[in-house]
Structure formats: structure tokens, C-alpha cells
Amino acid sequence: MKRTKIKDALNAQAPVADICIKGWVRSKRDNKGFSFLALNDGSCLATIQVVVDHTPEIEAALERLGTGASVAVYGELVESPGQGQQWEVRGKRLEVIGEADQETYPLQKKRHSDEFLRTIAHLRPRTNKFSALFRMRSKLAQAVHRFFADKGFFYVHTPIITGSDCEGAGEMFRVTALEAGSQEPAENDFFGKPANLTVSGQLSVEMFALSLGDCYTFGPTFRAENSNTPRHVAEFWMIEPEMAFADLSDDMDLGEEMIKYLVGHMLDECAEDVELFAKWVDKGLMPTLETILKEPFKRLPYTEAIDILQKAKKEFEYPVEWGIDLQTEHERYLCEEKFKKPVYVYDYPKTIKPFYMRLNDDGKTVAAMDCLVPRIGEIIGGSQREERMDVLLARMQEMNLNEEDYWWYLDSRRYGTAPHAGFGMGFERMLMLVTGVSNIRDVMPFPRTPKSLDF
């Protein structure tokens, strides 16, 4: 007999004479002559109530069923006389699938701290909070693809193993082939040159934008940043659109449209879950999301941002002067205290930005933008790209980059170059925004951070 998912059973329009439900026991309550089981199968937040009368077989099965065990229930879906649920299962037969040792099962029915749950990342999707969160993560990823599909963008799969350092920050993980049958790196390196895990798919997606027009890539990204913050992980997912014949202002328009779309989509499609997070995690979540939806984002040149920060009646830990890279404290001041909505800072000093950003006429700044959102800080980083060959080459020389390494990238400027622009959005940071979760480790299935590679 085919199983019915609990979500579908709970949405039934009429009783069902024969039904099979499979799931994990959240709780068991024994009464005289009968017992209740609350089962969850991950298809939705709710549990379904199962009522079984005590027969010798059922009692034998119940003996083996504690919190965390998996079970198949065969019976009837009937209207529930109890409160708080429309349907329940009158179980006629229980089949124990997998027992769970009650002495050691770490998820007994009580509230666990996020810190504790991080130590059992392999089991935390069985809790209400994390099952909801990972369902939302999946919906959000699907919404990203829907957003671009609706706008006619093409999805490009950019490589994970790369020979270049897009951001030029040197924060990369090296990829080495092992000698067959050994744990030692092979003597002849596999690719004939150093290979790294990608820090950004941008350089590749630029090639596609200058061929197919509007494109995006969405994939895993790796940074060997040794920073232990609630916003950085060594492996994260990045969404990187790239548009041909577009400038910085088109780029900011797209980012704003995308954030608004994703927030709106989650409020529509996952209303119940978002409300739970507003209740459990962050009381300020709804007002933040509403502001994002209805307010136009502030657009602020970097030079003005520095001026505002210098005049702020606030002690920053990191001193503010023209030329610095904004720190999280500065970013959060701008969007949380000064403007109280998302803020784009644009036209950054060229000295703190990578080689590919388009030089502005002042010769000092580049057409870069960061989008800063309340509670998180930077969620998007992007730019108009330098399409002028001579300016790009001069910039690469200034930064000591080896032209030969980028021969293929430079070809796009050599043959039919065109203005283009794009950005990268941290997928996890977007998920933090719509859930109010404040630690990036809690929106990743298995977070990778310095000194932590369990699971």
C-alpha cells in the first residue's frame, strides 16, 4: 500500500477508509486501553495524531516505539474528536521500522539551544524549527530560479574547480589530486597548474553574458577566510546574475527587484513558517520584511556614506576615514539606525576592490555597489565591469596580475566588448533575512567553519 504524506492527509477533503502513514514518533501517550502517537514525516510542520487500541500486537509494537523511532501506521483517516486538528488516524496495525534508544536519543521532547543543536547538525532537521527552516531554504532556492526564469535569464553552470582567483584576495582552498592508493599529493599536479575551489563564478558567467545576454549562476562557493563571525562560512551558496548592455544603475535595480521578489514570495508561499520565525526567533522580523517590500532602497555614494559615518554620534570600534572598507558595524549603522531600510553604497575607492570593476571618471573610485540590509549588513556585492581593454590592462598591471593567466577573460574585451554588470548575493544571508536567524551556521545543513568539519 502506498504511503500518504502527512501534509496531504491533514489536507484531506473526506475521510479515507484505508490509509498508510509513515513517519517518526514525536511523542507517545499511553492511556488505559489505548495510546496516542504524534507522528511527523517532514512534509509539513504539523504532526498527525494516531490513536491505537491496545491489542497484544499493538502493545508489543508500542513497547518498541519511543520518540525518534520510525513507524508505519495502517488504518483509517477519520475526523478527530480532539481539539486543534481536523483529522486523525485510527491505527489498526503498527509496523516498527526503526527503533530509537530512549537512553541516548538526543532529541527528547524539550526546547534545545541552537548551540547544542549545532553539535548534532545531522539530527536537527528533525526538530520543528530546523525542519521548517530547511523547507524554507528549499523554497527560497526554487524562488531564485523562478525569478530569473520569469525574467528570461539563462542558468549557467560555472566550474567549481578554477585556475584563477576572481576576487584577488588569495582566500582560496587548493585542490590537489592524491597519488593513487595513497594519502599523499601526486607528484605531477593534475592540472599542470595550481587549482582552487571557486570563490566566485563571476569571470565565467561574464563570458556567457557577453554571448547569451542575461545569465546567472547559482552554486557553491568557497572562501578560506579565517574569520569566525555569525555571517561567514567557508562554503556557501552564491547567486550571481550578469547582464549584458547594462550599467551600475541597472545592476542596483535588479538587486532591489530580486530582494523584494524573494521576500514577497516567502511571505506568500511560506506564510506559516515565516510567522513561526517571527514568533520564535525574531519579533522584529515582520516589520523588517514589510519595510523591505514597500520602501525604495536608499542609494548612497561611498563618499557620502563616509561623511555620514564620521558625523554619526556613535563610537565605532573601527575608525572611519575615506578609503576604508566598511565594517559590519558601519554597514549596520547605515541601514538600521540612519536610514532604517536597505541601503546601496556605491562608487567605492578602487584600492579596496578587485581588478574587474569599472573605473569611474574621477580615477579614484570604481562602479561598485554593496547592498546593506538591516540585521545582516552586506547581502549583495556587485559592480559594472571594466569593458575597456586599455583601462582593464592598466588596472591589472597596477595590481600585479599576470595577463597570461586571464587570456580567455581578456578575449571578451578584445572581441565585441560591451558594457555589462552583475552582482553576487549570498544565498544564506538572504535566508537569514527572511527567517530572522542571526547565525549563518543555523541556515546551512552542514556548516563549514574554521576548525569544524564534522558531518
Site residues for ligand 4AD per CB under 6 A:
166-167, 200, 202, 223, 225, 232-233, 236, 238, 240, 378-382, 422-426, 428-429, 440
Nearer to Mg ion, 199 or 244 (CB): 199
Nearer to Mg ion, 295 or 325 (CB): 325
In the list Mg ion, ligand 4AD, none, the entry touching 423 (Cβ below 5 to 8 angstroms by class) is ligand 4AD
In the list Mg ion, ligand 4AD, none, the entry touching 200 (Cβ below 5 to 8 angstroms by class) is ligand 4AD
In the list ligand 4AD, Mg ion, none, the entry touching 377 (Cβ below 5 to 8 angstroms by class) is none
The widest CA-to-CA distance across the chain, in whole angstroms, is 85
Nearer to ligand 4AD, 68 or 381 (CB): 381
Q: How far is the CB of 382 from ligand 4AD (least distance, A)?
A: 4
Q: Which residues bind Mg ion (CB under 5 A)?
A: 381
Nearer to Mg ion, 68 or 381 (CB): 381
Question: In this structure, what C-alpha cell is assigned to residue 189?
Answer: 599536479
Q: How many CB atoms lie within 10 A of CB 359?
A: 18
In the list Mg ion, ligand 4AD, none, the entry touching 225 (Cβ below 5 to 8 angstroms by class) is ligand 4AD
Q: How far is the CB of 31 from ligand 4AD (least distance, A)?
A: 50
Q: How far is the CB of 239 from ligand 4AD (least distance, A)?
A: 9
In the list Mg ion, ligand 4AD, none, the entry touching 380 (Cβ below 5 to 8 angstroms by class) is ligand 4AD
Q: Which residue is nearest to Mg ion (CB)?
A: 381
Dist. CA 4–CA 14, nearest whole Å: 14
Q: How far is the CB of 231 from ligand 4AD (least distance, A)?
A: 6
In the list Mg ion, ligand 4AD, none, the entry touching 253 (Cβ below 5 to 8 angstroms by class) is none
Q: How far is the CB of 212 from ligand 4AD (least distance, A)?
A: 16
Nearer to ligand 4AD, 130 or 348 (CB): 348
In the list Mg ion, ligand 4AD, none, the entry touching 50 (Cβ below 5 to 8 angstroms by class) is none
Contact 65, 97 (CB under 8 A): no
Of the candidates 200, 234, 240, 236, the residue with the CA atom closest to the CA atom of residue 218: 240
Q: How far is the CB of 379 from ligand 4AD (least distance, A)?
A: 5
Q: How far is the CB of 385 from ligand 4AD (least distance, A)?
A: 8
Nearer to Mg ion, 378 or 387 (CB): 378
